[in-house]
């Protein structure tokens, strides 16, 4: 039976009452949540933690109830799976109501998580509705970019939010939701970067982590790489076997290596990058790798996005810096010739690398951990004594 239609079969928690349940729907959120959990368990080793997440949370010590990262989707494709997601949300709410964790920490994935939070409130399971379970959120939805009105529903349903960008608390200032900036996870002491800058290194091609996006963007990146007249090899990072199959189907040429994100042989040291918008673009920005950003989606999602999104840039590093650290080539502007020209400039112009290095320093200063502590500090305060 297709994994998107079978009933949700969640095991009971091991070891009694659950202290904390993580709900994470994407690969990047799984990594970030796992980093928080490792920090938290170092202080409270007896903490009983379950997760609807992925392999990183499981490796950090959570009882993995279901791997939601294998089911992540984006854009118009989600419409075809609405029945599955309605059932998934209802079953998660039922599980929380039965097992009564002290807190649920939603991580990113707002399309899924805000609906679960609303369901908990409607059923009277969450603290805001008089129930036993705190509803917490780590990594705010990008309400500053689109659908800003969501903040009022969030304030009605959530007990606290930990933000990773310094401007975000002010976005919620007209609500009663407590919001705290906790620093960016990629500046945490135990952060292991997947990439690093090396002017003698290969080119990075980063098409994303969602199947539909990769199918659209990877052929474009390959065409741009070929059009650049490559003088050095390329490396493509991928998060899962599912995405690896998509990459192989595009028949990458000799000289293009496919490598799993998080491989144990250290970061990829690269001279330039062509990247989809998303988490990996931030990894590259914080590493100071010069490059360009691209994004292409289906026509309906793109047209809706133009109506909803009200920001100058789609790359978060560009937004934070208020300038194009990574020039953006979106939809029709995303051509092999345009991206190839960017790649040649990054590899051949020393001024481009110097400008990127200066932007990297500014970006790291903006995202540094505040005096109030890390996301784990925030979560420990929310949980209180066990």
> Tens of pLDDT along 203-212?
999 999 888 8
Instruction: Please tell me the predicted confidence (pLDDT) of residue 314.
Output: 83
Please state at what angle helix 150-157 crosses helix 110-122, rounded to 10 degrees. Answer: 50
Chain Cα centroid distance, residue 5: 25
Q: What is the DSSP letter of 59?
A: H
Q: What is the CATH number of domain 20-188+369-383?
A: 3.40.50.2000
- Given the structure tokens 């499981």, which residue do they identify? 58
Question: CA 317, CA 281: separation in Å to the nearest integer?
Answer: 8
At residue 203, φ and ψ (nearest 5 deg) are -90, 140
Looking at the whole model, is its pTM more than 0.85? no
pLDDT, one tens digit per residue, over 165-205 is 999 999 999 999 999 999 999 998 888 899 999 999 999 99
Q: What is the mean pLDDT of the chain?
A: 89
Please tell me the predicted confidence (pLDDT) of residue 35: 93
- Topology agreement, domain 20-188+369-383 and domain 195-366: yes
Between CA 110 and CA 144 the distance in angstroms is: 13
Closest CA to 70 of 257, 263, 225, 209: 209
299 versus 89: the higher-pLDDT residue is: 89
Q: In this predicted structure, what is the pLDDT of residue 5?
A: 36
Domain range list for the chain = 20-188+369-383, 195-366
pLDDT, tens digit, 9 for 90 and up, residues 347-362: 999 999 999 999 999 9
Q: Which two tokens stand for residue 164?
A: 């990773």
Architecture, CATH, for domain 195-366: 3-Layer(aba) Sandwich (3.40)
Integer Rg of the chain from CA? 21
> Which residue in the block uniquely carries the two structure tokens 């790798």?
289
What is the DSSP-derived secondary structure letter of residue 15?
Answer: T
Which one-letter DSSP state was computed for residue 149? T
Q: Tell me which DSSP letter residue 131 carries.
A: -
Note whether 366 and 320 are within 8 A (CB): yes
- Rounded CA-CA distance 131/141 in Å is 24
pLDDT beyond 70 at 304: no
Sign of CA dihedral 276, 278, 282, 283: negative
What is the mean predicted confidence (pLDDT) over 38-46?
92
What whole-number distance in Å separates Cα of residue 292 and Cα of residue 277? 10
């Amino acid at each position: 039976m297709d994994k998107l239609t079978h009933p949700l079969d969640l095991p009971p928690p091991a070891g009694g009452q659950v202290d904390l349940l993580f709900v994470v729907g994407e690969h990047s959120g799984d990594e970030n949540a796992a980093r928080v959990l490792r920090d938290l368990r170092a202080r409270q080793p007896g903490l009983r933690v379950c997760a609807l997440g992925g392999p990183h949370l499981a490796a950090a010590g959570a009882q993995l109830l279901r791997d939601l990262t294998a089911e992540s989707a984006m854009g118009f494709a989600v419409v075809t799976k609405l029945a599955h997601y309605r059932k998934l949300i209802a079953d998660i709410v039922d599980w929380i109501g039965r097992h009564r964790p002290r807190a649920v920490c939603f991580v990113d994935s707002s399309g899924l998580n805000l609906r679960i939070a609303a369901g908990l409130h409607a059923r009277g399971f969450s603290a805001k509705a008089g129930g036993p379970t705190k509803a917490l959120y780590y990594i705010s939805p990008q309400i500053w970019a689109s659908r800003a009105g969501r903040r009022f529903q969030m304030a009605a349903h959530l007990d606290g939010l930990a933000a990773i960008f310094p401007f975000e608390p002010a976005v919620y200032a007209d609500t009663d939701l407590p919001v705290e900036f906790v620093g960016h996870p990629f500046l945490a002491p135990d952060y292991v970067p997947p990439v690093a800058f090396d002017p003698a290194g290969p080119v990075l091609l980063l098409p994303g982590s969602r199947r539909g996006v990769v199918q659209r963007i990877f052929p474009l990146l390959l065409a741009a790489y070929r059009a650049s007249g490559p003088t050095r090899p390329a490396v493509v990072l991928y998060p899962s076997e599912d995405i690896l199959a998509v990459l192989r189907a595009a028949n990458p040429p000799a000289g293009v290596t496919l490598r799993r994100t998080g491989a144990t042989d250290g970061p990829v040291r690269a001279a330039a990058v062509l990247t989809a918008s998303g988490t990996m673009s931030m990894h590259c920005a914080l590493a100071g790798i010069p490059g360009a950003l691209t994004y292409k989606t289906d026509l309906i999602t793109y047209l809706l996005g133009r109506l909803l999104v009200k920001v100058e840039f789609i790359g978060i590093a560009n937004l934070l810096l208020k300038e194009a650290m990574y020039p953006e080539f979106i939809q029709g502007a995303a051509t092999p010739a345009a991206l190839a020209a960017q790649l040649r400039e990054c590899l051949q112009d020393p001024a481009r690398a110097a400008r990127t290095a200066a932007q990297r320093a500014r970006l790291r200063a903006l995202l540094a951990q505040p005096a109030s502590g890390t996301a784990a500090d925030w979560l420990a305060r929310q949980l209180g004594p066990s």
